[in-house]
Chain A
Amino acid sequence: MLLYSLLLTILYLITINITSIANESQLSFGIKLQKTHTLYYENGIIAEYSSSAFLGNKFHSGFSYITSRFGSAFNSNALKQDNFLFHTSYTFLEKAILNPFIKLNAGFIIADYQSPLFDDIDNTMPLTSIDLGFSYTPIKPLKTQVSLGYNIITSDGTTGVGTVYPLYFNFIVMWNMLK
């Protein structure tokens, strides 16, 4: 798990380094809302970076943290779980009103079972998923995204965290700080 996280961090730093060479960069911060199909709401924050010099601002990379603590587990007995994800995305038809994109995510989840009785059960596992969606910019520097995602790795009931389901929906609102 540690090696996996380290690899992702290195990849992320390389990506940031490449994009920072560009003249016109976008550094956006925002909120990310996620609903897993037939399971939890998990909400949190997202940061994303891109450069016009690198694939003409079509390529984005970033990080997000979402948690059920700000969703289904808020004031309820739902499982408290935290998702840490790095992502890279590529946007098509950048000049259209709706910009389709594909996004690859990788990271990990940590669950809090709230009792030492469950110490023998895995409380963390890697996450790898793919999103397809649309970006829409109503007013610059505000950007919104909706996407449908699919977790490629899910738990099989014998290993990992059982609440990693395949299908989820995302809604993201971001503000570009460099505009």
Chain B
Amino acid sequence: MKILILLISLCILSCNNSPSITDQDLDGNVLFDPSLYQPELFLVSAYKPNPSDKEKNMPVLIAAHGYSASTFEWDELRKYADSVKSGILISQVLLGGHGRTYQDFKNSTWRDWQASILNEYKKLVQAGYTNISFIGSSTGCPLIINLLYENSLSQVPPHQIILIDPIIIPSNKILSLAGIVGPMIGYTSVNFDSELERKHWYRYRPQETLQELLDIVTVVRKELEDGIVLPTQTDLSIYKSTYDEVADRISAILIYNGIEINSINSKELYMINSNIHVMTRLQGRNNITDNDISIQKRIFDQIIEKSNKIKK
């Protein structure tokens, strides 16, 4: 009987679905992603909606961030690309439901997250851009792979698909129980390394969004099992940290084996001896080493080189 009372009490306590959000958290009603106020600073479609003939052929990289993150995740790449005068334009897309409020996040689905990527692509195509590539980090990757599988990028096939620590299999296997445990816990929370992370990532993760996350990785895993054939114009590059505590390294294996190429395009895999999830974002992290900075620079250089690659 005591156990029964304890279980009922736990259930009642666990059904308290409202986290204590402060104004210093991105989840609150004060901080929002800056791309919502000034899209022209983040989206090429807003910055150059009417490109010249020369600009239409410039490489444009659509950058999709990960689950619970925001456009900040690709700030370092854009700053680096600008600093070395890379000649590429970068669209830092804010995924639907992200960078807003906890409730917006809670109400969003992975289709909402993905819609921002597709919208930017469609706007760029409509504006006449011809050299479009995609880069994704973590959950941004399955969202892009799903677009490939559904043939949504066929109007102007991407030149490059670059995946940074893609998640297909989560490192924390408890995510697979999100549909069972989620309704009992309501939400989960994370601890940040810095105030900077606090401003740019959601602290609280509603269980509904964890279920959406599980849904998109499951959907894309099955699509990879079916096999996805890359368009002949598209090259694929996968970068994966070997000791990643968010996205299991086996994700890279499933993508590598699940995406097929032909004799014209290429498929490259780079396993990185690191425990950092999404090496392309180092700002706001603790204990960054010179080696991490060096690896990040090498990846950025390769991204720029790939994006500028001229195809026959």
Q: Are A and B bound to each other?
A: yes
A interface with B by C-beta (< 8 Å): 37-39, 72, 76-79, 113-115, 117-118, 120-121, 154-158, 161-167
A37 touches B176 (CB 8 A): yes
A residues in contact with B271, CB < 8 Å: 117-118, 120-121
Assess whether A38 is in contact with B176, with CB atoms less than 8 Å apart: yes
Instruction: Name 13 extra pairs, CB < 8 A, besides A155-B248, A158-B245.
Output: A37-B176, A37-B177, A77-B254, A118-B253, A118-B271, A120-B271, A155-B173, A157-B169, A158-B275, A161-B250, A162-B171, A163-B169, A165-B176
Closest B-chain residue to A118, C-beta based? B253
- A39 and B176 contact, CB distance less than 8 A: yes
| Cβ of B104 under 8 Å from chain A | no
Determine the chain A residues whose CB is within 8 A of the CB of B249 once the complex forms.
121, 157-158, 162
By the criterion CB–CB under 8 Å, are B170 and A157 in contact? yes
Q: Is A157 a contact of B177 with CB atoms below 8 Å?
A: no
Q: Residues of B at under 8 Å CB distance from A?
A: 169-174, 176-177, 179-180, 214, 218, 224-227, 242-251, 253-254, 256-258, 269, 271, 275
Q: How far is the CA of A39 from the CA of B224 in the complex (A)?
A: 13
Q: Return the contact of A157 from the options B214, B224, B246 (Cβ within 8 A).
A: B246
Is the CB–CB distance between B177 and A162 below 8 Å? no
Contact of A157 with B244 at beta-carbon distance under 8 Å, contacts A77-B225, A163-B250 already known: yes
Task: Give the complex CA separation of A118 and B169 in angstroms.
Answer: 16
- CB-based contact B227/A162 at 8 Å: no
In angstroms, how far is the closest chain A Cβ from the Cβ of B174?
A: 7
Q: Return 16 A-B CB contacts under 8 Å, by A number.
A: A38-B179, A39-B176, A76-B227, A113-B257, A114-B257, A115-B256, A117-B256, A121-B249, A157-B170, A157-B171, A157-B243, A158-B275, A161-B250, A162-B250, A166-B173, A166-B177
Total inter-chain residue pairs, C-beta < 8 Å: 86
Q: Quick check: A38 and B254 within 8 Å, CB to CB? A: no
The chain A residue with its CB closest to the CB of B173 is: A154
A38:B243 contact, CB within 8 angstroms:
no
B167 CB to nearest chain A CB (Å): 10
Which residues of chain A have C-beta atoms less than 8 A from B169's C-beta? Answer: 157, 162-163
Q: Which 10 A-B pairs have the closest CB atoms?
A: A157-B171, A162-B250, A162-B248, A157-B248, A76-B225, A158-B243, A154-B173, A77-B258, A38-B176, A78-B225
| Minimal beta-carbon separation of B44 from chain A (angstroms) | 34
Contacts of B244 in A (CB 8 A): 157-158
Q: How far is B271's CA from A39's CA once the two chains are assembled, in angstroms?
A: 24
**Closest partner residue, chain A, to B269 (CB atom):** A117
Cβ contact within 8 Å between B171 and A156 = yes
B258 x A38 contact (CB < 8 A): no
Beyond A157-B170, A163-B250, whether A120 also contacts B242 by CB under 8 A is: yes
Whole-angstrom distance between the alpha carbons of A39 and B251 in the complex? 13
Which of B172, B179, B226, B254 has a CB less than 8 Å from the CB of A156? B172
Give the residue name and chain of the A residue nearest to B245 (CB): A157
> Which residue from chain B places its CB closest to the CB of A39 in the assembled complex?
B176
Q: Which B residues touch A79, using CB under 8 A?
A: 250, 253-254, 257
| Residue in B170, B171, B245, B253 whose Cβ sees the most chain A Cβ within 10 Å | B253
Q: Which residues of chain B come closer than 8 Å to A78, judged between CB atoms?
A: 225
Chain A residues with Cβ below 8 Å from B226 are 76-77
Q: Report the Cα distance A151→B67, complex, angstroms.
A: 27
Q: Is the CB of A167 within 8 A of B253?
A: no
Alpha-carbon distance A39/B254, docked complex (angstroms): 13
Bound together, the chains give a CA A73 to CA B224 distance in angstroms of 11
CA distance A156 to B248 in the complex (A): 8
Set of chain B residues within 8 Å of A76, measured between Cβ atoms: 225-227
Note all chain B residues with C-beta closer than 8 A to A167. 176-177, 180
B214 and A38 contact, CB distance less than 8 A: yes
